[in-house]
Chains A and B, each alone.
Chain A
Amino acid sequence: MIALLVRDMRLAVRAGGGFGLGLAFFLIVCILVPFSVGPQSQLLASIAPGVLWLGALLACLLSLDRVFALDFEDGSLDLLASAPLPMEGVVSMKALTHWLTTGLPLVVAAPALGILLSLPTQGFMWLFLSLLLGTPALSVIGTFGAALTVGLKRGGLLLSILVLPLYVPTLIFGAELARRGAAGMDTQTPLLMLAGITFATIALLPIASSAVIRINLR
């Protein structure tokens, strides 16, 4: 399974691998929002957590259709299915690769972009924490959506429609945690809810994803 992770990371950073796609999109969104909203730092500061979270979510969505599609097209998914790896392990590694190549760069870049959006000082730590805790759920849920649509030509549209409602709880509690943190309010409830959602998806969804992949390979 480590071999699969190493291979996918290597593919992601080589030419045409799609590493940085989500990050570039996130940068563009966060750079353009202050221009479109105008120079009102008060207003920007209050929408900053929400905008950063929405940008991160859409950036995650952008690279999801690559998770299984490339392996399906060149036949490696069939070969992986007949290899001595549990399919649950394969999909978990795919989700982890997606998080390392898309989610983690967003988490690291978000505080820097918070400056552009006039995020209050005490909010930076909470923004970082909320994204660090929330983006794994985005990757795992997204991998489930990618598993559902593997084998469909141009399944990206269907994938987005399937995944968006599943992303809503993560978005609500993630953005709420960042907002409360920035406003200096109590953060315990959204923190626990966000952590709960993330750990539950990591525990349960790989099993569903692997079942769906096996069905889609038939």
Chain B
Amino acid sequence: MAMHVENLAVSRGGILILEGIDFQLSAGQALVLRGPNGSGKTTLLRTLAGLQPIADGKITYDIDSVAYAAHSDGLKQMLTVRENLEFWSSVFGTGNIDEAVEAFFLGPLLTRMAGALSAGQKRRLGLARLLVTGRPIWVLDEPTVSLDVEAVARFGETIKTHLQSGGSALIATHIDLGIPADILDVTPFKAKRPSLPQLDGAFQ
């Protein structure tokens, strides 16, 4: 079992967003989160990535197995594509960027400054970081924004390869990635309580 979520409640800025979430994610499984804008998908993903405290409930997993990709890619404009990737590979101690470069067609761009890339190319570089981390659980927030049709298909293939090698993925997306995935609609989990019982946002 890669991840087991029981009766989880998540909050943002002290306001309860979702509650009573239960799901399991096993190795080789992909789970797609659905829900309208503002329904709490990002907050849920940030909680799973360990960036937000858990408001209630329990997540059973190894926090160090999660690779998180947010809306913004965390790229440094004044570093080249290679320097950006090599930085993350040494932070995660993997030391190999070749696989990621190949999977996201970054070869011809390696010496280019990240600031000189197009939006789609930046996104590809941001997603390439996932492979560089070498972590099994991918937590992805709208990964396909600004990608063209071909790049989306390639990305679907990359996720498939990742799943086949025993990884798993949790993806908030509005489009079909062409991968075999279970769907989790977050709308029914919308919090009914207005706020948390004891509200101490900073020091709980």
How many pairs, one residue from A and one from B, have CB atoms within 8 Å of each other in the complex?
73
Q: Determine if B109 is an interface residue (Cβ-Cβ < 8 Å).
A: no
Inside 8 A of A83's CB, which chain B residues have their CB? 88, 91-92, 133
**Would you call A154 an interface residue if the criterion is a C-beta within 8 Å of the partner chain's C-beta atoms?**
no
Binds B, one of A44-52, A59-67, A74-82, A122-130: A74-82
| Residues in chain B within 8 A of chain A (CB atoms) | 12-13, 49-53, 64, 66-68, 70-79, 83, 87-88, 90-93, 129, 133, 201-202
Choose from A80, A81, A218 the contact partner of B201 (Cβ within 8 Å). A218
Q: Interface size on A (CB < 8 Å)?
A: 26
Contact check, A4 vs B91: say whether CB atoms are below 8 A apart.
yes
A–B complex contacts, Cβ < 8 Å, 12 sampled: A3-B91, A7-B79, A10-B83, A11-B78, A14-B79, A71-B74, A74-B75, A75-B73, A78-B72, A83-B88, A85-B91, A218-B13
Partner of B68, one of A15, A77, A78, A215: A78
Q: Is B72 in contact with A75, judged by CB distance below 8 angstroms?
A: yes
Cβ A217 vs Cβ B76 within 8 A: no
In the complex, besides A74-B73, A82-B51, A82-B68, 5 extra interface pairs with C-beta distance below 8 angstroms are A7-B76, A78-B70, A78-B72, A79-B74, A83-B88
Q: How far is the CB of A204 from chain B (nearest CB, A)?
A: 18
A residues adjacent to B (C-beta < 8 A): 2-4, 7, 10-11, 14-17, 71, 74-85, 215, 217-218
Q: Are A82 and B49 in contact (CB under 8 A)?
A: yes
Q: Is the interface of B mostly helix, strand, loop or mixed?
A: loop
Task: Find chain B residues with CB under 8 A from A79 CB.
Answer: 68, 70, 74, 88, 129
CB distance from B27 to the nearest CB of A (A): 20
Residue pair B52, A14 in contact (C-beta under 8 Å): no
B75, closest chain A residue (CB): A74
* Interchain CB contact under 8 A, A76 and B91: no
- Nearest chain B CB to A69's CB is how many angstroms away? 14
Bound: A93/B68 CA distance, A: 22
Do B91 and A218 have beta carbons less than 8 Å apart? no
Check B78–A14 contact: CB distance below 8 A: yes
- How far, in angstroms, from A80 to B87 measured CA to CA in the complex? 11
Given the complex of chains A and B, what is the CA–CA distance between A218 and B70 in angstroms?
A: 14
Contact A75 B70 (CB under 8 A): yes
Beta-carbon nearest neighbor of B64 in chain A: A84
A62 to B12, CA, bound (A): 33
A218 surroundings in chain B (CB, below 8 A):
12-13, 51-53, 201
**B87 in contact with A74 (CB, 8 Å):** no
A74's partner among B50, B68, B72, B88 (CB-CB below 8 A) is: B72
